A and B are shown apart, each in its own frame.
Chain A
Amino acid sequence: MSSATDHRPDDASPAPAGRPGRGRLSAWLFWDAPLARVAWLRLAVYAFVVVDVLWLHSTGRYHGAADPVWYSPLVLGDWLGVPAATVLLAEATRWGSVAFALAAMTGRAPRMLGWATALCWIWFQYIAFAYGKVDHDRADFLVALLLLPTVGAAHLSDRRRSEAAGFALRAVQLMAIATYFLAAVAKIRFGGWEWVQSATIARAVVRRGTVVSEWMLDVPWLLQAFQWGLLGAELLSPVIFVLALRWQRRVVGAWYLFHLATYAAITIAFWPHLVMMLAFLPLERALPAARRRWDRLRGREVDRGARQPLVAPGRDG
């Protein structure tokens, strides 16, 4: 049982003598989180980078073969003078992402390897997006790649807590939820309030529908009802931060179900965002819990000590 308000200063470990008092917002932003959770999240993030550039979002490298006439620099590229892609540059950033992410998964040199991974992955995304089409689901992942290394050393079985870890996790959570809210802002900005009554999802089904969704084209009110529900859920998404921990996790589960349904209907998944949402979950308890379940399945006596959670529940929002 925990909520945002559970992270009040008197719920945290006592501050060292001489430290100024902490405001509520500061205590919430810099909560003392389990370092092991950051280690697990980093593992997921770096594993995702490998899968992403090799399989999920690997095609950006073909821009190296496109004529530079199609290069349409983004503001970032204009500022930094980033040139059009070449086959060599595209492959270097792609395989650099793989190499640094694999190295970062070891947990060694977390800052250097983490930021090297971030640089390669961001550049590879830039190459993918600087030819006229931006995939709008990938910006939030930058926050994870750039801020998770700031935590420094963290081990999968780390029993320490850390405010730097709490900050990084909170920033990733905030960014993940901001994507929902800002997606609603974009719908209102570009589609207007009439977006909910439009045929936007119907068009998506026409373009990329599956057997799961194509029958819905004959029931257009259903797709519009979905649009009402989606916009409402996106606008209300920040409420997650004032919910009790148990409900926070249920809401995260509901978002995962939403993304699963979206994938089934129009084969679109916001993969990096799905990784970001892991920041809400007690990842460091997953493996011990799975071990216990496995032991139980095998009929073993579960060691009493193993029942002890690595990190106490109730303080880890």
Chain B
Amino acid sequence: MTQTGVAVRAADGDGGRTPSTTRTTLRLSAVGRAWRAGVVAVLAVGFVAGSLVGDDHWWPFSPWRMFSTSSSPDGAVRVFVLEVTTPNEPGWREVPINLWVVGLNRAELEGRWPLVQERPEVLVTLADAHARLEPEQERWDGVRLVRRSTPMAGGVPDREATTDQPLAVWTADGGAQVLGS
């Protein structure tokens, strides 16, 4: 560290608002200033470049893109839904997609949809993760990924027109397949 600088005892120069004792100011050496200025320059270049041409994989220099996409007021809100079956509950039922249930959250699963399209058998890993995270619960023998769409008109959602589209499924006895895109 170069904050070896020179300690200066300076007389109060602020209109007498400080106590009447002398005050110590620690100065930085030229080297100390130089490397700090260099750090600022590197950070500035990294963050600006990340914002202009980077993507999420550049983190921590990724763009600050929270709520940055432009959504049509007349489009649809689409979210992934996870449905499962168990030996004692063979009908599909919805379960939360979050980290403490399947080790991933919904946005992560949505972001990895290309992986599921390519290798639908990865859905079994969600059942495995659930078995590790909630061992007291019955093991899933079926996992189905569904896209739920709620249409919007003028920025107002029409919840009654919400539809579900199965995208991919894995079952213990039937294997895995992609159902939609």
Contacts and interface: CB of A to CB of B under 8 A. Distances in A.
A60 interface: yes
Interface stretch (A43-51, A203-211, A247-255, A281-289): A203-211
Interface string A43-68: 00000000000000001101111110
A201 B71 CA distance: 9
Contact of A161 (B25, B30, B154): B25
Given A67-B128, A191-B69, A160 B122 contact: no
A304 to B, nearest CB: 11
A217 B24 contact: no
B6 A16 contact: yes
Interface in A182-227: 182-183, 185-187, 189-192, 194-195, 197-204, 206-207, 217-218, 220, 223-224
B73 A202 contact: yes
Contacts of B109: 132
Contacts of A70: 103-104, 108, 112, 115, 122, 125
Interface string A158-193: 011111110100010011001100110111011110
Interface of A: 11-16, 19-20, 26, 29-30, 32, 35, 59-60, 62-67, 69-70, 72-76, 111, 122, 126, 129, 131-134, 136-139, 142-143, 147, 150-152, 159-165, 167, 171, 174-175, 178-179, 182-183, 185-187, 189-192, 194-195, 197-204, 206-207, 217-218, 220, 223-224, 268, 305, 308-309, 311-315
Given A14-B8, A164-B5, 20 more contacts: A13-B25, A16-B6, A35-B26, A60-B99, A62-B133, A64-B103, A66-B104, A69-B115, A70-B104, A72-B57, A75-B57, A75-B59, A131-B112, A150-B3, A152-B1, A192-B70, A220-B154, A305-B19, A308-B19, A309-B17
